[in-house]
Amino acid sequence: MGTRPEAIKMAPIVKELEKHSNKVKTIVTVSGQHREMLDQVLNLFNIKVDYDLNIMKPNQTLFDIVSILLIELKKVLNNEKPDVILVQGDTTTSFATCLAAYFLKIFIAHVEAGLRTYNKYSPFPEEINRRLTGVLSDLHFAPTKSAFNNLVQENINKKTIFITGNTVIDALLMTVRDNYDFGTIKDDKIAKRLLKIDFNKRIILVTAHRRENFGEPLENICYAIKKLIENNNNIEVVYPVHMNPNVREPVNKILGNLERVYIIPPLDYEPFVQLMSKSFIILTDSGGIQEEAPSLGKPVFVMRNHTERPEAVEAGTVKLVGTDWRLIVNETQKLLDDKVEYNKMAKTVNPYGDGKAAERIVNCLLGLPFEEFNPNTKSNL
């Protein structure tokens, strides 16, 4: 794993594998594609790293990540000779790892397999990363039935696909708590900033950092936030802003001087989960939040034109609004004004998981009894 989302979703599997240390040796390798954001998740879940490739460097490109990883992973794989490699999701780390494993004819298992938009540039480069990972993998842990169906349509053998739910729900339920104190955050500046938020008001949480939204789309997102603040005295906006200058510069230019808008650095996973749980509405271009928010009963507006997670849209907890500032404002305002409309989206039934995905994955790997995830089964709600 190499990024924060990967670490969050793999952590429950690592902890579950640790319960079976008499049967399996677990080797954790990180690429360091993200650095500080990755490390804080590993620390939170107390995960010991066996190999840290630490590939991150200033202004690294996709070319750098893939080429360096192939060379470095060859050394690790030749040294350890693993029976199975587990990769997660759709990162460049996952794709490069699968390619290295394929070259060495090592069995590959893909966690969170089968997500698709069928638009190769949206999201970029994740859509192609996950498709190529799927082609190279031998075992596919699909989080949902629709992900299973996507794989079947691509001629993946049904016998190699298992519906598990998504491990992000496992991680979420392991982390969220009612009595969390933002004052305990190690960074004093962030802690003081968050303690100023009036949680008696309606909190709109914003995350927007995807490459395809750089430029005018991100500016439109910022203008939408500005308009919402101007139109509503009873809301406050919290925006953890990615360090990339393509994100920071337009956000600070358009929103930097507005009252009731809290622009903060990216949060560690633990405080971010608590912030999600205290929010009223979430505006995002992230993938994982679309899965997590339904477990917390939070409506989500996705500021992208495509989503690889249609289940939440079908369930009514998520809406696609793209990056048209008028549509973002209109849809958000509708929920601020209409309690009935809000409650329609705030349903707590989560189509993505029940907190047992890691257990299912490990049981499958070890040949133990396996019962697939079904959100319509009462025991899974």
pLDDT digits (tens, 9 = 90+) for 39-53: 989 999 999 999 999
Measured over the CA atoms of residue 94, residue 36, residue 184 and residue 299, the dihedral's sign is negative
56-60, 95-99, 288-292, 310-314, range with greatest mean pLDDT: 95-99
Same domain, 194 and 247: yes
Which of 173, 186, 184, 182 has its CA nearest to residue 39?
186
Confidence class for position 380, pLDDT limits 50, 70, 90: very low
pLDDT over 70 at 212, yes or no: yes
Same domain, 118 and 207: no
198 is catalytic: no
Cα–Cα distance list, 153 to 96, 114, 116, 147, 150 (Å): 24, 10, 11, 10, 5
Residue type, 10: M
CATH number at residue 68: 3.40.50.2000
Same domain, 226 and 191: yes
CA dihedral 14→17→23→25, nearest 10 degrees, is 0
pLDDT digits (tens, 9 = 90+) for 355-373: 999 999 999 999 999 999 9
DSSP string for residues in 325-339: HHHHHHHHHHHHH-H
188 is catalytic: no
Mean pLDDT of all residues in 64-89: 97
* pLDDT of res. 379: 45
Tell me, yes or no, whether 114 lies in a domain. yes
pLDDT digits (tens, 9 = 90+) for 81-117: 999 999 999 999 999 999 999 999 999 999 999 999 9
Tell me, yes or no, whether 317 lies in a domain. yes
* pLDDT of res. 348: 61
Same domain, 30 and 155: yes
Give the predicted TM-score (pTM) of the model.
0.83
- The C-alpha atoms of residue 328 and residue 320 are separated, in whole angstroms, by 9
In this structure, the strands spanning 300-302 and 281-284 are: parallel
| Options 211, 248, 260, 306, the catalytic residue | 211
Domain count, the chain: 2
Cα–Cα distance list, 128 to 95, 120, 131, 284, 307 (Å): 9, 6, 5, 21, 14
With beta carbons less than 8 A apart as the criterion, state whether 141 and 167 touch.
Answer: no
With beta carbons less than 8 A apart as the criterion, state whether 259 and 285 touch.
Answer: no
Same domain, 26 and 63: yes
Same domain, 283 and 149: no
pLDDT over 60 at 77, yes or no: yes
Residue type, 71: I
209 is catalytic: yes
pLDDT over 60 at 216, yes or no: yes
131 is catalytic: no
Same domain, 60 and 155: yes
| Options 6, 16, 90, 311, the catalytic residue | 90
- The C-alpha atoms of residue 113 and residue 246 are separated, in whole angstroms, by 30
Same domain, 254 and 357: no
Asked if omega into 123 is within 30° of 0 (cis), the reply is yes
- The C-alpha atoms of residue 288 and residue 168 are separated, in whole angstroms, by 7
| Options 110, 209, 304, 360, the catalytic residue | 209
Lowest mean pLDDT among 189-193, 262-266, 350-354: 350-354
Which of 166, 160, 171, 87 has its CA nearest to residue 129?
87
Structure tokens at 19: 């319960």
pLDDT over 50 at 381, yes or no: no
Tell me, yes or no, whether 38 lies in a domain. yes
* pLDDT of res. 80: 97
| Options 72, 112, 127, 270, the catalytic residue | 112
- Indicate the length of the chain as a whole number: 381
List 281's β-bridge partners, or say none.
204
| Options 6, 16, 72, 126, the catalytic residue | 126
Same domain, 247 and 373: no
Domain that holds residue 310: 179-345
Q: If 0-12 CB within 10 Å is exposed, 13-18 middle and 19+ buried, where does residue 223 land? A: middle
Other C-beta atoms closer than 10 Å to the C-beta of 78 total: 9
Which of 325, 323, 305 has its CA nearest to residue 217?
323
Residues 6+ apart with CB under 8 A from 54: 32, 35
* pLDDT of res. 316: 87
90 is catalytic: yes
Same domain, 196 and 114: no
